[in-house]
Structure 1
């Protein structure tokens, strides 16, 4: 029990005032009962318990399930390790393809820059030669209308003769190299290298490249380098005035079929007798219509270009001689004017570029023909490209749908049976 004792002492001050206050002092004391002592005991771990735990741990054994899971894990690791080894084997081919890809990208940049440069050559040389020719013609005309003899008249004649001679030399050099044709060659090379770049990137993205892919890409690069050289000296430049029209060739001689080989999808790999006959009919149309037409146009462009290339320097040469030996100035003026017109037609009209365009189109159809023939001649269907995919690619390259390509083949077969020539070209692109 507790006892509470309170004592209160009230003290009043001797002087009473309004500000006086009373103070109270409270003394308190609280007596709490003592709590009874609490006895606590901590249990001790007996040595026998420790021995029991050790014995239980010693009795632990690896179960069969654990063993099987451990074996499966090791087996999975082995499979993954083998996959890593497989990827490591293909990584060499991927590295080589990336190296070729870097060279292809560099060639694209080079051919683009060279093409722009040679296109500028064509513009600058055309303007410069025409200015020289027109200036010389004007001076020859003034000299022809002048009366009397003297140093001024002689100076006009000599100046016009020198300008015509310079124009003749520049025309001979320009017609020899054909800057517009050179520019078109570089544009075609850049486009084909971009096409090769996309094919290499697709091969890497699809995965599982092989050594044949590396060899094929390397051969394509070398074939393009040979078809579209950049140097002008040392005999590397393509002949600008061949004896006859020849289509361009920018693909290697072999492995046309192997580079597009696909994995077998069906038992016949998408091929049938009807599809093979369809491809043969398409090739016949390409040969009879498209290739013959572009060969005819190419020969016409070649003849026109040859005639213009000979006429322009011949006219300026006649004008230069006329300045010296002609007294009235009629010959140099007329010859100079005609030379300016011919030069404008040849290089302003870019006849060389048109000729190169026909060569490129002829090469496209020749590549199409060789691709189809090499694919059909392959007897092992598994080594061919999938038939449905091949048909789709051929249709796209000719600017047609698959149904339109089949209609073309049917029409060609019907006309051939009737003994008539088909009135339709295979390509709708150009």
Structure 2
């Protein structure tokens, strides 16, 4: 039999049943059990004394486990003793306590108190951080649902108001045409009054609709829904692939607040200016969006990669961002003209309807103005809100914001002197290529022409 060291102990416990209270198993075993154990050993082992048998049970180098062939119904427990040398001794123990003991578990662990307290504190901090991120993720999902619902509602506004205003305008124009054919008296007065009221209502509705731009409101909410869902996915990716830190919690909070500011939920007050004096790309990210996490010394960066990023940065500034700012300004001018002409036409048409058959010199022209003005007003309204010019303005502004975000991401990485605090270079290059709709090789070829001012190729191929 292998040598045993009685300096350490194996703690043997039994699993309680019912209302029974668990007690150490060895305390309830009489000496006859150990004698039976002695008798079941081979002849060469019987020369060991009873104290040696106790040493076997007390040795920490032995492992006592139930045998698969043991049955709780035959009154015995088959077990094996594994010694330090790796040899096994098959034993058979009586089980008079079979109703109270279902399994035997042995533990030989000793954790210092200070280490255990430090680990407990670290685990509590980690659990708190994960809980905060899950709470933020729940709010982000709720925000995405709210923006989705409000976006659908405002899209319905645009359709309903467009159809209603056109119906009112064309009805007023028809009424003006009929008023020129009816005899003077009450019928003429009724038609003139009806046409004037309809045109006045259309003018008021157009002023309100052109102020709030429902198609632009719907596009804002669609963008907010997409970005909140993107943030929700990124939070769950952080929870899945890494150990969250308080920095991740703060960064997620900053992104939520930045999105709330860029795409407000309420209509009044807080609505974004629909005809801004200065046109800038939309900003929906916090000012400091670079993850400060040290990965390795070089962190995937090299001199060639930095030059490549500088080339892409030059193209983004010179071509993509500048072009979308130009298009945004152009669409804004068109929208301003249409927003001014529509109410003007309905207002003039209302004046013409009121002057039908009043004075001989203006009566004929009043009918022409009332009918033609109403038709033109319906056309202008259809172009502005049916064509969703406000939505196109917001779309171009968000596209410019997308490229502005890429520009700031590249600049923030290049300005960071410590490579370990940058985003991983190879991963950043791959993400940038996908965001621009290119492969990594195409991105590198594009970067080679970054300093060429005469180059006509844009960085982005998606839009």
TM-score of the two chains, using structure 2 as the length reference: 0.75
- Give the one of 379, 403, 418 matched to 2:417: 379
Distance 1:72 1:407 in 2: 62
Runs of 4+ in 1 over 4 A off after TM superposition: 52-66, 69-72, 75-85
Deviations 1:175-232 (A, max 9, x none): 1100000000000000000010011000100131000100000010011011001111
The offset of 1:142, in angstroms, is 1.1
Matched, 1:352 2:390: yes
- Do the aligned partners of 2:147 and 2:221 also contact (CA within 8 Å) in 1? yes
- Do the aligned partners of 2:162 and 2:386 also contact (CA within 8 Å) in 1? yes
**Counterpart position of 1:263:** 295
SS of aligned partner of 1:145: coil
**Counterpart position of 1:87:** 123
SS of aligned partner of 2:110: helix
**Counterpart position of 2:132:** 96
Deviations 1:87-121 (A, max 9, x none): 33211000000000110110111000000000000
**Counterpart position of 1:410:** 448
**Counterpart position of 2:324:** 294
Distance 2:399 2:152 in 1: 22
Alignment of 1:31-70 (within 5 A): 65=61
Deviations 1:278-329 (A, max 9, x none): 1011011011110111011000100000000111011000000111124231
- Do the aligned partners of 1:319 and 1:335 also contact (CA within 8 Å) in 2? yes
SS of aligned partner of 2:167: helix
**Counterpart position of 2:458:** 425
**Counterpart position of 2:179:** 143
Distance 1:59 1:341 in 2: 102
Matched, 1:274 2:304: yes
RMSD over aligned CA atoms reads 2.7
Distance 1:172 1:118 in 2: 17
**Counterpart position of 1:250:** 284
Distance 1:58 1:140 in 2: 115
**Counterpart position of 1:238:** 272
Distance 1:358 1:249 in 2: 13
The offset of 1:263, in angstroms, is 2.0
- Do the aligned partners of 1:161 and 1:320 also contact (CA within 8 Å) in 2? yes
Deviations 1:109-168 (A, max 9, x none): 10000000000000000000000000000000111233x421111111110000000000
Distance 2:328 2:132 in 1: 39
- Structure 1 residues 149 and 275 mapped into 2: Cα distance closer, same or farther (>3 Å)? same
TM-score of the two chains, using structure 1 as the length reference: 0.81
Distance 1:320 1:64 in 2: 102
Alignment of 1:101-116 (within 5 A): 101-116=137-152
**Counterpart position of 1:15:** none
Alignment of 1:334-373 (within 5 A): 334-373=372-411
Which blocks of at least 5 consecutive residues in structure 1 are unaligned?
A: 1-44
**Counterpart position of 2:435:** 397
Bigger radius of gyration: 1
- Structure 1 residues 76 and 336 mapped into 2: Cα distance closer, same or farther (>3 Å)? same
Deviations 1:59-91 (A, max 9, x none): 87966857xx99973259998886565333211
**Counterpart position of 1:18:** none
**Counterpart position of 1:179:** 214
Distance 2:135 2:355 in 1: 65
- Do the aligned partners of 2:130 and 2:244 also contact (CA within 8 Å) in 1? yes
SS of aligned partner of 1:229: coil
Distance 2:248 2:54 in 1: 61
SS of aligned partner of 1:411: coil
**Counterpart position of 1:303:** 333
- Structure 1 residues 322 and 210 mapped into 2: Cα distance closer, same or farther (>3 Å)? same
Distance 1:174 1:311 in 2: 13
SS of aligned partner of 2:460: coil
